[in-house]
Amino acid sequence: NAGVMQNPRHLVRRRGQEARLRCSPMKGHSHVYWYRQLPEEGLKFMVYLQKENIIDESGMPKERFSAEFPKEGPSILRIQQVVRGDSAAYFCASSPPDGYYEQYFGPGTRLTVT
């Protein structure tokens, strides 16, 4: 079984551009989570989604950040008008519909804002 897939693995954006990060959960998983890891820090929760629903976005910055998990296709984390402080590794995780337990993480997308 393929694991959680994220693309791109590396993304470079200039200040003011938009960044789109994609996450395909493991087969059969309908819960998706996004986390951000700043350099030399631990992961910070951003948002938890199920198909077509945002369940918990308590960790999302109030502006410029949005996430979706459509009925078909991958989950998208969108960052508008990126700034240097958005440079980080963004990890996606998924879990099965009946499993509140372990989350399976993807390899991450490393965003660099120049």
Binding residues (CB under 8 A) for other proteins: these are: 4, 31, 33, 35, 41-45, 48, 55-56, 58-59, 89, 91, 93, 95, 100-108
Burial class (CB in 10 A: 0-12, 13-18, 19+), 11: middle
Closest Cα to residue 75, out of 84, 86, 67, 66?
67
- Closest approach of other proteins to the CB of residue 48, in Å: 6
CB nearer to other proteins: pick between 14 and 58: 58
Q: In what order do the strands lie in the sheet with 75-79?
A: 5-7, 19-24, 75-79, 65-68
Closest to other proteins by CB, 14 vs 40, is 40
We find the least distance from the C-beta atom of residue 16 to other proteins, in angstroms, to be 27
- Closer by beta carbon to other proteins, 12 or else 55: 55
Q: How far is the CB of 81 from other proteins (least distance, A)?
A: 26
